[in-house]
Structure 1
Amino acid sequence: MGQVHGRVPGASEMRAYTAAFVARVTARSRLPLDYSVASLRVVDFLIDGLRKGGADREQADRTLFGLGAYVGEVLVRRAGAQWVDYDEPQRAYFGQPVGVRMPDGRVWNPLGKVRNRFESGGPEESLQTFYLTLHGRTRRAVA
């Protein structure tokens, strides 16, 4: 799992963690990770590439966490969500320490959604479709 100083980052650290991940990933290639909704299709392709390349979940874990953080940050920037630390029941349910809360109060698990895409590989787990089908999102300017 993605770690900062030996631990998984909390909600207040996710924006900085994501920015560092994007800088690291895009320094090696010209991936269009610009926090746009269209860039979520690139995330789908990256995850599919990890699967097709034969990476197991343990090998891909850090990258998957970074991609999940990126998806969450797209929700924050484009849909008005905010990063939240899950309470104990949410941690147990989602299997993650952080997620996002949408303006309508619903909580989503972008980190888990990325893992689901990696594990199943099916189009029903598309991250771009995930964003587009969220109800109750509001438009918000990029911060």
Structure 2
Amino acid sequence: MTAHQETRPSAATKPVRWAADAVATLREGARLRLDYSAQSLWRVDRMIDGIRGEGTPYPAVETVLRGLGAYAGEVIVRQTGAEWWAGGGDHWVRTPDGRLWDPIDEARRCFTGDGSLRLLCRDATNAAASRT
């Protein structure tokens, strides 16, 4: 275990694992490489659009969406120095400016055609940068 992992708040445990599982699954199943960059969220948004376009029922992709939302949250954490927060079974990212972001819910919104993980990351990164 690295020093970075040891100092992560306990709220990060589940979403970090969900994100890593999504990265591994997509690398092996869809041959899609995700590198925790903001640019990679373009591919994630397009992939979610494709799943929605196929008419896939939500229950069939619920776990995948949770993993992709956690992945987007990890991108925000790495870009801004944010932390994962948890409560009542939900997980959010808190950026250094004190704002809470819900990338897992945003992934669900992407699936309904009313969200974008790329834009969420852009907004969270810009908000955090404007406060420094």
The amino acid of 1:102's aligned partner reads T
The amino acid of 1:51's aligned partner reads R
What corresponds to 1:137 in structure 2? 128
| Contact 2:69/2:117 (<8 A) preserved | no
| Contact 2:92/2:103 (<8 A) preserved | yes
What corresponds to 2:38 in structure 1? 37
Q: Distance in 1 between matches of 2:106 and 2:30?
A: 24
How many pairs are equivalent? Answer: 119
Gaps of 5+ in 1: 1-8, 139-143
Gaps of 5+ in 2: 1-9
- Note the alpha carbon deviations across 1:63-117, whole angstroms, 9 max, x for none: 111111111110111122111113xxxx5xxxx6111101111111000011011
What corresponds to 1:3 in structure 2? none
The amino acid of 1:98's aligned partner reads H
The amino acid of 1:37's aligned partner reads A
Q: CA RMSD in A?
A: 1.9
What corresponds to 1:27 in structure 2? 28
Kindly indicate which of the two structures has a greater share of residues assigned to helix. 2
Output aligned runs, 1:1-143, within 5 Å: 10-86=11-87, 91=88, 97-119=90-112, 121-122=113-114, 125-134=115-124, 135-138=126-129
Deviation of the 1:19 alpha carbon: 1.4
The amino acid of 2:127's aligned partner reads G
| Contact 2:82/2:95 (<8 A) preserved | yes
Q: Where has structure 1 moved over 6 Å in runs of 4 or more?
A: none
Percent of counterpart pairs with the same letter? 39
Deviation of the 1:10 alpha carbon: 4.9
| Contact 2:18/2:66 (<8 A) preserved | no
| Contact 2:103/2:120 (<8 A) preserved | no
**Normalization by structure 2: what TM-score?**
0.80
Helix, strand or coil: the match of 2:31?
coil
Deviation of the 1:137 alpha carbon: 1.6
| Contact 1:37/1:131 (<8 A) preserved | yes
Q: Distance in 2 between matches of 1:48 and 1:106?
A: 27
Helix, strand or coil: the match of 1:36?
coil
Helix, strand or coil: the match of 1:137?
helix
